[in-house]
């Protein structure tokens, strides 16, 4: 198995992390007020205001006449991308919140672009020991639960082309024979389990989400500290994930 890809820095700077999270929220969701940002980050309004002021100073955000903040010139391209991913995220958020309530663990929605995946929505568990928000983060597809689910949909020739020498792919490309075996297992099971593959000490379980025309749109997953994962819960977790995915698919079809 590959070594874990991302490990939190030993001296994480909370203010930097929060500023980056705000930039991601503005990019994915559109305008937000100080109060909304403070609630999402779990900080005081005054702290959220200072963070937003710095983003405005560096042109990552601007304040509109209604006193809400939106993406600034640095992120302006995102202002024009109320795309399928943005619509998918908006439809998924209520289901992610419900999923967190049902299983007590953090929930994510992830899409694939080439050999990478991006977490477009993330709702944290309320437990003290929990997996934090992955919203906006990008990982090599072969290292994540959702990435395995989405790669498993590719025909063999497209998978080979994706990881061909010289292709636009992560530097730490996978062992293709091992990856093919992993993807065959995912196809047989209809779900994926990731134990420490993307981040040490984290277990994630996921299923696919389909568009109304039957295409696979995203991966839906729950993530938990490995110390809390019990294999006996796997059937129940998969069943809850599938029910949530089906509910989201009905909303997308509607």
Percent residues over pLDDT 70 in the chain: 90
Name the packing angle between helices 45-57 and 34-41 (round to 10°).
110
Structure tokens at 26: 């503005």
pTM of the model: 0.71
Structure tokens at 2: 């590959």
Strand, coil or helix: what is 142? helix
**Per-residue model confidence as pLDDT tens digits over 47-62:** 999 999 999 988 788 8
* Beta carbons within 10 angstroms of residue 19's beta carbon: 20
In this predicted model, which residue has the larger pLDDT, 10 or 125? 125
d(CA 129, CA 227): 10
**106 near 224, Cβ under 8 Å?**
yes
pLDDT at 96 over 90: yes
Strand, coil or helix: what is 42? coil
Structure tokens at 121: 């929505």
In this predicted model, which residue has the larger pLDDT, 66 or 224? 224
d(CA 89, CA 93): 6
pLDDT at 223 over 90: yes
In this predicted model, which residue has the larger pLDDT, 71 or 131? 131
Tell me what pLDDT residue 11 has: 67
pLDDT band at residue 9 under the 50/70/90 scheme:
confident
Tell me what pLDDT residue 165 has: 62
Lowest-confidence segment of 92-101, 133-142, 175-184 by average pLDDT? 133-142
Name the packing angle between helices 234-253 and 84-103 (round to 10°).
140
Tell me what pLDDT residue 79 has: 45
**219 near 150, Cβ under 8 Å?**
yes
Lowest-confidence segment of 8-12, 125-129, 187-191 by average pLDDT? 8-12
pLDDT at 73 over 60: yes
Tell me what pLDDT residue 84 has: 75
């Amino acid at each position: 198995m590959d070594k874990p890809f991302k490990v939190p820095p030993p001296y994480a700077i909370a203010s930097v992390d929060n500023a980056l999270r705000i930039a991601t929220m503005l990019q994915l969701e559109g305008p937000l007020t100080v109060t909304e940002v403070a609630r999402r980050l779990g900080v005081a309004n005054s702290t959220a205001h200072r963070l937003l002021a710095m983003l405005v100073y560096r042109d990552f955000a601007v304040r509109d006449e209604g006193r809400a903040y939106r993406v600034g010139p640095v992120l302006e391209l995102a202002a024009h991308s109320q795309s399928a991913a943005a619509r998918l995220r908006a439809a998924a958020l209520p289901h992610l919140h419900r999923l967190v309530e049902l299983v007590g663990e953090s929930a994510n929605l992830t899409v694939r672009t080439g050999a990478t995946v991006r977490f477009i929505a993330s709702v944290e568990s309320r437990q003290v020991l929990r997996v934090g928000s992955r919203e906006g983060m990008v990982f090599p597809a072969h290292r994540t639960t959702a990435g395995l689910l989405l790669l498993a949909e590719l025909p063999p020739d497209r998978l080979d082309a994706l990881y061909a020498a010289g292709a636009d792919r992560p530097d730490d490309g996978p062992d293709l024979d091992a990856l093919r075996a992993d993807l065959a297992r995912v196809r047989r099971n209809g779900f994926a389990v990731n134990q420490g593959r993307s981040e040490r000490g984290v277990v994630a379980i996921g299923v696919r989400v389909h568009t109304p025309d039957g295409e696979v749109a995203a991966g839906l997953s729950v993530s938990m500290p490995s110390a809390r994962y019990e294999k006996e819960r796997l059937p129940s977790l998969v069943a809850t994930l599938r029910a949530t995915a089906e509910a989201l698919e009905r909303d997308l079809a509607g």
